[in-house]
């Protein structure tokens, strides 16, 4: 009888799990069907516009930099309607190639009518803007790639969307993201994998990967992403774009609708001492500056009192005075491919030749920052809060190794750490999330917060001692082959450092991978020639012609100086 009861219970459990999985599949299929119907609706609208206005010079409009495009729209030589439908058509083409869009925003046609009723034209008048999946837009989903978020529509525009609209912008598309946003690849079980438009074998990066792919493919002129470990800067690096991660509080939380289920991901990103930042992505630095100038307005400060009322300082951005620039081409934790170090050295020489003062700078204790400060912030509870967001969901293949690591019992993790230790030449270089220590008490959590503040203070002291204005340093790249970001979580040390420090940091493309770089890569051994170093080598191989970028950094609240430095780097790279 006991065996029969046990057998019945097991059978019931199997059936219950099967039914649950069928329900998940049904929800995902419905979400995909809704997306596809939205695409078809937009395609019909574009076709209708094409029939009404057959003589549009599409390529000429798409090639205009944002500043020129805004000028043409402000003076009236281009109409917002023409620009919107031109970008809608191009976005449809790009997403067919890359799967970068999660959804079109049909209300863009209403916003088109609305801006023409305004007495004053905002700074972004008539500009189509794409936004990352989780940035709240009224009447739409904010999914974070999770099934649990599919049933609830956002009830009102987030502050960021409200301000964009007030400045005359037209949000027209929401872009794809990796599941839970905790990845620098771009894939989720609902909407699938996004590809890099420059090479479909490569990832666009993440978590703002849909934005990266859409803008790099020419389907958007300005996008909004978010960054907690490089999620704006890595897609910018992989896709050859400019991207800015501001000081987190400069545009604090303005993308999130905190009453929505997706806010659980937001809670994970905002409630620990390494904060998430919202920022712009575009094809050039002037576009980023214009976006920041538009967002940092009275409307923003009134709608969100937690945003400090500091308008954009045009004088700092426009300055041409020589800069004192700290630089390094490796952080001593995860040595980057030869082309990324070459980019820093070439940029250093160009800056020096242009009259700037260059000073060697070494960021202190990166292995400690990576394992004890950054990763411990995310996995302080052993990853349990993060695992909760996957309840009733299918885990994306790219996240399975991280999820499985978090599910391991603490004793198993300790044993694994002992077994892995002989593979690592330098003990602090623990490159697997399975061996990250957790905070075992509230006192340890508070101590961890304190350690981050102490490190920030020490870093700023070193910066001040050298009297630096800005820092030039590498960024992870070139674009990884799809699937590899999930196997190399700890390769993001170059970007994560400035999330821990909460410094503004931006990425500028300056070169491309050469045949010589590819040959030199064959000799790459990383730090220890360990399995992670060899994996990195595999991830970036076959990248000839893909963009190579550098990272530009300033002290907190100095976004304008960071952008001014980025502009200088951009100008010098184009003059080569």
Tell me whether residue 121 is in a domain.
yes
Peptide bond connecting 563 to the previous residue in cis, omega within 30 degrees of 0: no
Q: Among residues 158, 180, 183, 231, which one is catalytic? A: 231
CA distance 567 to 575: 12
Q: Among residues 90, 121, 132, 431, which one is catalytic? A: 132
Same structural domain, 209 and 341: no
Same structural domain, 72 and 139: yes
CA distance 7 to 26: 29
Global confidence as pTM: 0.95
pLDDT over threshold 50, residue 23: yes
**pLDDT of 38-85, one tens digit each?**
999 999 999 999 999 999 999 999 999 999 999 999 999 999 999 999
Same structural domain, 145 and 244: yes
CA distances from 8 to 2, 12, 19, 170 (A): 10, 6, 16, 57
Tell me whether residue 9 is in a domain.
no
Same structural domain, 241 and 257: yes
At residue 406, the pLDDT reads: 83
Q: Rounded mean pLDDT of 305-318?
A: 96
**pLDDT of 272-310, one tens digit each?**
688 899 999 999 999 999 999 999 999 999 999 999 999
**pLDDT of 129-183, one tens digit each?**
999 999 999 999 999 999 999 988 999 999 999 999 999 999 999 999 999 999 9
Same structural domain, 322 and 306: no
Tell me whether residue 215 is in a domain.
yes
Tell me whether residue 202 is in a domain.
yes
- With tokens 């800015």, the residue in question is 244
- What domain count does the chain have? 2
Same structural domain, 118 and 57: yes
Same structural domain, 351 and 209: no
Weakest-pLDDT range from 232-246, 391-405, 455-469, 481-495: 391-405
Same structural domain, 266 and 340: no
Q: Are strands 222-227 and 128-132 parallel, antiparallel or unpaired?
A: parallel
pLDDT over threshold 90, residue 366: yes
Could you confirm whether 207 is annotated as catalytic?
A: yes
Tell me whether residue 401 is in a domain.
no
Same structural domain, 460 and 480: yes
Q: Which one of 289, 312, 335 terminates a domain?
A: 312
Same structural domain, 332 and 343: yes
Same structural domain, 225 and 341: no
- 478 or 270, higher pLDDT: 478
The CATH number that applies at residue 47 is 3.90.1300.10
Tell me whether residue 14 is in a domain.
no
The residues near 258 (Cβ < 8 Å, ≥ 6 apart) are: 266
Could you confirm whether 132 is annotated as catalytic?
A: yes
- 183 or 386, higher pLDDT: 183
Q: Which one of 297, 312, 327 terminates a domain?
A: 312
- List beta partners, residue 551: 473, 507
Same structural domain, 290 and 340: no
Tell me whether residue 388 is in a domain.
no
pLDDT over threshold 70, residue 422: no
Could you confirm whether 231 is annotated as catalytic?
A: yes
The beta-strand segments (E) located in 82-177 are 101-104, 128-132, 170-175
pLDDT over threshold 60, residue 242: yes
Contact predicate 494/341, CB 8 Å: no
pLDDT over threshold 70, residue 427: no
At residue 259, the pLDDT reads: 53
Exposure on the CB side of residue 403, measured as CA atoms within 13 A: 16
Q: Which one of 312, 327, 354 terminates a domain?
A: 312
Print the domain residue range for 136.
Answer: 26-312
Binding-site annotation: residue ranges for substrate: 181, 207, 228-231
Least Cα distance to 228 among 159, 193, 177, 291 occurs for 177
Q: Among residues 207, 208, 437, 573, which one is catalytic? A: 207
Tell me whether residue 386 is in a domain.
no
Binding-site annotation: residue ranges: 181, 207, 228-231
């Amino acid at each position: 009888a006991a065996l029969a009861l046990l057998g019945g219970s097991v059978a019931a459990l199997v059936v219950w799990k099967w039914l649950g999985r069928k329900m998940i599949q049904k929800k995902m299929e419905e979400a995909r069907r809704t997306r596809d119907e939205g695409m078809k609706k937009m395609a019909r609208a574009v076709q209708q516009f094409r029939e009404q206005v057959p003589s549009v010079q599409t390529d000429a409009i798409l090639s205009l930099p944002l500043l020129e495009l805004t000028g043409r729209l402000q003076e009236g030589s281009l109409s917002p309607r023409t620009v919107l439908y031109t970008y809608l058509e191009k976005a449809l083409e790009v997403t067919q190639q890359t799967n970068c869009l999660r959804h079109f925003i049909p209300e863009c046609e209403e916003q088109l009518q609305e801006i023409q009723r305004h007495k004053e034209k905002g700074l972004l008048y008539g500009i189509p803007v794409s936004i990352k999946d989780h940035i709240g837009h009224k009447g739409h989903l904010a999914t974070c790639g999770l099934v649990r978020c599919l049933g609830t529509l956002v009830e009102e525009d987030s502050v960021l969307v409200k301000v964009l609209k007030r400045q005359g912008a037209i949000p027209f598309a929401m872009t794809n993201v990796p599941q839970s946003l905790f990845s620098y690849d771009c894939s989720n079980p609902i909407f699938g994998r996004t590809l890099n438009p420059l090479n479909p074998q490569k990832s666009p990066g993440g978590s703002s990967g849909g934005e990266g792919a859409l803008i790099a493919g020419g389907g958007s002129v300005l996008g909004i992403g978010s960054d907690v470990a490089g999620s704006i800067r890595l897609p910018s690096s992989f896709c050859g774009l400019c991207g800015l991660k501001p000081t987190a509080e400069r545009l604090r939380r303005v993308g999130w609708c905190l009453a929505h289920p997706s806010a659980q991901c937001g809670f994970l990103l905002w409630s620990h001492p390494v904060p998430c930042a919202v920022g712009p992505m575009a094809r050039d630095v002037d576009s980023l500056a214009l976006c920041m100038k538009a967002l940092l307005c009275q409307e923003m400060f009134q709608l969100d009192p937690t945003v400090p009322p500091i308008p954009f300082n045009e004088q700092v951005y426009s300055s041409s005075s020589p800069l004192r620039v700290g630089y390094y081409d490796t952080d001593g934790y995860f040595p980057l491919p030869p082309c990324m170090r070459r980019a820093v050295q070439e940029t250093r020489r160009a800056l020096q030749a242009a009259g700037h003062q260059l000073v060697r700078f070494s960021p202190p204790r990166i292995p400690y920052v990576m394992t004890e400060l950054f990763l411990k912030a995310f996995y302080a509870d052993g990853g349990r809060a993060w695992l909760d967001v996957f309840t009733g969901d299918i885990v994306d293949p790219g996240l399975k190794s991280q999820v499985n690591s978090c599910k391991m019992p603490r004793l198993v993790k300790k044993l694994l750490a002992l077994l892995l230790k002989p593979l690592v030449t330098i003990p602090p270089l623990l490159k697997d999330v399975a061996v990250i220590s957790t905070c075992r008490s509230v006192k340890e959590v508070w101590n961890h917060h304190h350690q981050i503040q102490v490190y920030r203070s020490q870093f700023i002291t070193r910066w001040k001692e050298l009297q630096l204005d800005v820092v030039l340093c590498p960024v992870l790249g070139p674009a990884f082959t799809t699937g590899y970001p999930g196997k190399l979580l700890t390769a993001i040390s170059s970007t994560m450092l400035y999330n821990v420090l909460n410094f503004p940091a931006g990425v500028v493309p300056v070169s491309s991978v050469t045949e010589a770089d590819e040959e030199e890569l064959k000799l790459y051994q990383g730090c220890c020639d360990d399995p992670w170093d060899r994996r990195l080598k595999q991830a970036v191989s076959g990248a000839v012609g893909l963009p190579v970028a550098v990272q530009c950094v300033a002290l907190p609240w100095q976004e304008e100086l960071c952008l001014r430095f980025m502009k200088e780097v951009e100008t010098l790279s184009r003059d080569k």
